[in-house]
Structure 1
Amino acid sequence: MQKIDDLETLRSFLASKDNTVNNVYFSDVPQVCKDFPCILGIDEAGRGPVLGPMVYGTAFCPLNEATLPDSLGCADSKALNEESRDVIFSKICANRKMGWGVEVIAPNSICNSMLSRQKYSLNQVSMDAAINLIKMALKGGVNLSHVYVDTVGPPEKYQAYLKSLFPNVGVTVAKKADSTFPIVSAASICAKVTRDYALKGWGFGEGLQAGHEEFGSGYPGDPNTKKFLQNYRDPVFGYPHLVRFSWSTASEALKEAYHVDWEENEEVIPIGNTSITEFFKMTKNRGARSLHDFFTTRCLSRKVEF
């Protein structure tokens, strides 16, 4: 977990990180949030786009300062322009009665979950991120009294699930929580600002030179996003890690790519009377072989399944 305390640090840090893995960033926890009962809000940004990460955000402050997010101008991030969100986020960072945190969920992490053999829905990915943020706040010493969460799926079921995990904390899960509870609005802004700068500073491990202005907002209806999906589609290997390849927008576009028949690996590991210990040693060594530069330069890795 990386501690971030201002907008410029967040911006430069996001530009330096590996975009293919999930990352969690938290501010310092103000002492008042350790000494007094606190409320905490959770919301996300980037659930629907075909490009870029989904970001879950949280914000917290003392219960007796519940109007503080309002006084800083916090509102549903979707109702604010980018400049306003940046200004409010900077105010949240500077205020010593509030703290915040985000989890940046990489596009390939989302897709690998959704396309795994055991289906792992986007709702479950979202819930896990929310749970992780609550745990991180508690671990950081936040004196947590009540949690407010913008729902995914039926709010009653989600609320009961969270309550079972955190029985000593009050839980409210509601639709449109980001426009109902100011502390959730603050979380929404933290999530949205983080996603915006994660996109702007995106580093392509595949070596592409595309800038943010080329792929736009990442939403399927954005003309720049559509153009990016057309121009940066490899006929064999598909898309760079920026693209959520499990989205129908991407999978439809990939229908025009080459069809590839993958031959089975000719190397057969003999089992016979081999002990289970020796078997796993052999498969481990087999999976550890170095890859040709052709694959490593394209950010491809070998996955061994048993």
Structure 2
Amino acid sequence: MAEGQETQEKKSSVVDVSGFIDSPLGVHNLQSAVPTITCQDECLMGIDEAGRGPVLGPMVYGISYCPITKTKDLEKLKFADSKVLSVSQREDLYHTITECNEWLGWKACILSPNYLSNCMLRRSKYNLNSISHDTAIDLIRKVLSDGVKLTEVYVDTVGKPESYQSKLESIFPQLKVTVTKKADSLFPIVSAASICAKVIRDACLTEWKFTEGDDCYSKSFGCGYTSDTTTINWMKDCIDPVFGFPTLVRFSWSTASKMLESNGLLVKWPDDDEDEEQKANCPKISLFFGKAKTNGDGPKPAKRHRYFEERKLEAVDHFI
């Protein structure tokens, strides 16, 4: 079953995400034990994410790593892109990954809906691509700090592959970096990372505890994608006109913000009026620059503002 077609199921998860469930408002990290062999032999690593698009739940970044000498063993495990696997297939492969911990390690970073919304709605914009890049970079650094002898990194791209790869190469010049589309279907090590990320995200949704009340528990919220009518209907039923949505929802997504505009109460802050008044009274920077006047003899130089004269600043007509 493809990602986006699954529905919410209340069952015991195959991975322990209780640390995140107990405090689901920030960033939470999970990891396997670091295999001893990965600190001795040169290793490759794969990076992928799960839950980039949904309006509900966390986005999870997963990585997996192993010695390059274990590439053949990795291929025998028959990993595949997590999106084309059923829930049971992913869980079985996740168990396989954990059983191979003597040579195969993994890490995951769970980015809560609250964290994503706060980042994307803050005054200094922090978009999803930048969040994704920084999370991947942090995971690479964590693996290196664990003493893993990392030499190759394979990444499923976010944005343009060329620019993303150049960015990673500039930060980690000692590593051979490959960034490409569909990396999770091209490289088994990325497929393993994809499986870890998706299984962990599924567990977060399965184990989610609503602090907002029992009404949210009583209805299925679907797969979390805006194409799912169950998800949209759940959001409409759970919206509060003052406080908005439960913390499972990403407020920064356009679907959520449009619902709030239509069904929520308008809040007007006193600062809004002050900001508008300040904007109206604030002179434009262009007023500091005079315009040249002309007469029959040609243009006359404009009188320069005292700001420039006091600081001995001169105009230039070319750039070095």
TM-score by length of 1: 0.80
Match of 1:97 among 87, 96, 103: 103
Q: Which has the larger radius of gyration?
A: 2
1:261 aligns to what? 268
The 10-residue stretch of structure 1 (118-127 or 255-264) with the greater mean CA deviation from structure 2: 255-264
Deviations 1:27-78 (A, max 9, x none): 1011111110000000000000000000000000100111333322210000
Q: Distance in 1 between matches of 2:44 and 2:175?
A: 10
Q: For 1:10, what is the secondary structure of its paired residue?
A: coil
2:215·2:238 contact (CA, 8 Å) conserved in 1? no
The 10-residue stretch of structure 1 (124-133 or 250-259) with the greater mean CA deviation from structure 2: 250-259
2:23 aligns to what? 18
2:198 aligns to what? 192
Matched, 1:237 2:243: yes
1:291 aligns to what? none
Q: 1:67 to 1:208 in 2, by over 3 A?
A: farther
2:225·2:231 contact (CA, 8 Å) conserved in 1? yes
Matched, 1:47 2:52: yes
1:67 aligns to what? 72
Structure 1: which 5+ residue stretches go unaligned? 1-6, 265-306
Matched, 1:134 2:140: yes
Deviations 1:113-154 (A, max 9, x none): 111111111000000110111111111121101000001111
Residue 207 of structure 1: how far off its partner (Å):
3.6
Residue 205 of structure 1: how far off its partner (Å):
3.0
1:108 aligns to what? 114
Q: 1:251 to 1:101 in 2, by over 3 A?
A: same
Q: Distance in 2 between matches of 1:201 and 1:65?
A: 34
1:50·1:220 contact (CA, 8 Å) conserved in 2? yes
Counterpart residue identity of residue 61, structure 1: C
Q: For 1:149, what is the secondary structure of its paired residue?
A: strand
2:290 aligns to what? none
Match of 1:177 among 162, 166, 183: 183
Q: 1:105 to 1:171 in 2, by over 3 A?
A: same
The 10-residue stretch of structure 1 (95-104 or 196-205) with the greater mean CA deviation from structure 2: 196-205
1:35 aligns to what? 40
TM-score by length of 2: 0.77
2:13·2:206 contact (CA, 8 Å) conserved in 1? no
Q: For 1:49, what is the secondary structure of its paired residue?
A: coil
Residue 258 of structure 1: how far off its partner (Å):
1.5
2:153 aligns to what? 147
Q: Distance in 2 between matches of 1:70 and 1:212?
A: 43
Q: 1:209 to 1:259 in 2, by over 3 A?
A: same
1:218 aligns to what? 224
2:219·2:234 contact (CA, 8 Å) conserved in 1? no
Q: Distance in 2 between matches of 1:163 and 1:119?
A: 25
Q: Distance in 2 between matches of 1:103 and 1:43?
A: 11
Counterpart residue identity of residue 259, structure 1: L
Q: Percent identity?
A: 47
Query: Matched residue pairs, number?
Result: 259
Q: For 2:16, what is the secondary structure of its paired residue?
A: helix
1:67·1:182 contact (CA, 8 Å) conserved in 2? no
Q: Distance in 2 between matches of 1:86 and 1:11?
A: 13
Matched, 1:247 2:242: no
Counterpart residue identity of residue 258, structure 1: L
1:269 aligns to what? none
Counterpart residue identity of residue 186, structure 1: A
> How much is the aligned-residue C-alpha RMSD, in angstroms?
1.9
Counterpart residue identity of residue 62, structure 1: P
Residue 256 of structure 1: how far off its partner (Å):
1.8
Where do 1:72-87 residues align within 5 Å? 72-87=77-92
2:17·2:204 contact (CA, 8 Å) conserved in 1? no
Q: Distance in 2 between matches of 1:53 and 1:222?
A: 17
Q: Distance in 2 between matches of 1:108 and 1:12?
A: 17
